[in-house]
Amino acid sequence: MRRLALPSSGLLLAATLLAVPAAPAQAADPQFCSDGRAAPCLETILRDGAAVDPLVYSAMVDLYTPPEDAHNTGFTLLKNGSYQLTGELGHTFSVTMNTGSIKPRVVSGWGIDGAADRSFDGSDWHVTVTVQPADMLMSCIDTACPTTATAETHYTQVGVHVDDASWYADGGGDPDALNGIDVFSNVNLLWYPPAITVDPAGVVTMDVAMKNSHFYPDGTTVFLGHAMIRLPNQVLHDLYGIPNPATMTPGSLVSTATSGTTTSTPSGGGWDIVLDGMTFSKQHLRLTTGTIVPTRPGKLDAARTGVRRGKVFAASSARGAKVTGFSARCVAGSDVVTASAKASPVVVTGLRAGRAYDCRVRALSKAGPSPASAVVRIPGRP
């Protein structure tokens, strides 16, 4: 897949991010839809649930150049005209933006505990981003990050990038397969779009590379990176090919990182992947399809119900693909009998009179069969 280089005016996850400058000239321009600005424009800014004092807090709509401006927008919060949100760590900001024709498939940002809500009013797309400012070292230029940041590049900041994921079509993908992804981090540079690969076995991997300075300005305190990626169930279905994401269990999605610790947990119609304690310079977060076939069948039992007939009972749980039935393979010496059913028990016919059969059961699913069960025996006679 071609890696798109987003414009340098982009925010988090652009291919090139520069150290943040002082208050921009365009900050004085109308930013709100209510002031007559055409979309993309701002609708509301809240701080801890209350409307902000516009003389203190504002936001700048981030501008792009053709052809990117048809696919990307975003905003940066300002305090007293500056990107530096001094004293705002721990406070929660909620910004609603009219993005016009830009469908907010991927919403990413500099911030902590971020979330995005999307809506369409029949004409325009809207997105509400709720996030806390992040402690940032904005010292990377292009892809180079000094080991130790300077005091001038130590920021408390919120910046958000809204992306319609049109770049995914470059590799033949459907951009809607990425609809609903949220990414929030305190890391200076993230290469975006992520590298999305599919191996011959159909295993999907999303790889997000990250880079940051290692030390705070004192030269001894280590910067620890934090990132959160939200993958809705629809993304897990459309991108990762998981038939029934609501049935996923730990291990159905595998998250690994170059450093730090990762957790992947189901939450409200999707999965949250959290990476804590990253050290730098360069790190990778990889999200890979895990085990999505049903669990190994248990609760085994079997009975002989006739001279040439028997039943095998089993139970299995889904972990990414619904259980659609069971298959049984029963062996007595060189005699092998197989059978399947849409639900337990599996009726096995064609048994030889008086012979006991050792059976193994697999649960069936759209993702494939489960591992074979332990042996359960059909006795030789009813």
In a domain, 165, yes or no: yes
Give the pLDDT mean for 285-301. 95
Print the domain residue range for 342.
298-378
Assess whether 206 and 313 both reside in one domain.
Answer: no
Residue 29 binned pLDDT confidence (cut-offs 50, 70, 90): low
CATH (domain of 324): 2.60.40.10
Place 141 in a pLDDT band, splitting at 50, 70 and 90. Answer: confident
- pLDDT score for 242: 95
Are 349 and 220 in the same domain?
A: no
How high is the pLDDT of residue 67?
78
Residue 244 has pLDDT above 90, yes or no: yes
- Residues 183, 156 share a domain: yes
Q: Identify the domain boundary among 289, 318, 339.
A: 289
Q: What is the amino acid identity at position 317?
A: S
Structural tokens at position 247: 């049935």
Residue 371 covered by a domain: yes
Please, which pLDDT band fits residue 2 given cuts at 50, 70 and 90? very low
**Residue 188 CB neighbour total at 10 angstroms:** 27
213 pLDDT above the threshold of 70? yes
In a domain, 15, yes or no: no
Asked if residue 356 and residue 282 are part of one domain, the reply reads no
Query: Average pLDDT, stretch 144-148?
Result: 94
Indicate whether 256 and 312 sit together in one domain: no
From 241, 268, 289, the end of a domain falls on 289
Is 100 in contact with 40 (CB distance < 8 Å)? yes
Average pLDDT over residues 33-43: 94
For the beta sheet containing 309-315, the strands, ordered from the edge strand earlier in sequence to the opposite edge, are 298-306, 309-315, 346-349
105 lies in the same domain as 191: yes
The answer on 276 and 189 residing in a single domain is yes
In a domain, 88, yes or no: yes
The reported pTM is 0.85
Q: Are residues 241 and 331 in the same domain?
A: no
The average pLDDT across 233-251 equals 94
User: Which residues are CB-contacts of 6 (< 8 A; sequence separation ≥ 6)?
Assistant: 13, 14, 15, 16, 68, 72, 192
Q: Is the pLDDT of residue 4 over 60?
A: no
Structural domains counted in the chain: 2
Q: What is the pLDDT of residue 297?
A: 98
- 285 with 302, same domain: the answer is no
Tokens of 168: 């995914």
Average pLDDT, the chain: 90
The domain boundary residue, chosen from 257, 289, 321 = 289
The pLDDT score that the predictor gives to residue 27 is: 44
pLDDT at 63: 78
Distance between CA 274 and CA 269 in Å, rounded? Answer: 16
Regarding whether 335 and 221 lie in a shared domain, the answer is no
Mean pLDDT check: name the lowest of 8-12, 46-50, 282-286: 8-12
Same domain, 228 and 316: no
Nearest to 44 by CA among 128, 109, 111: 128
Cβ neighbour number for residue 49 with a 10 Å cutoff? 8
Task: Report whether pLDDT(274) > 80.
Answer: yes
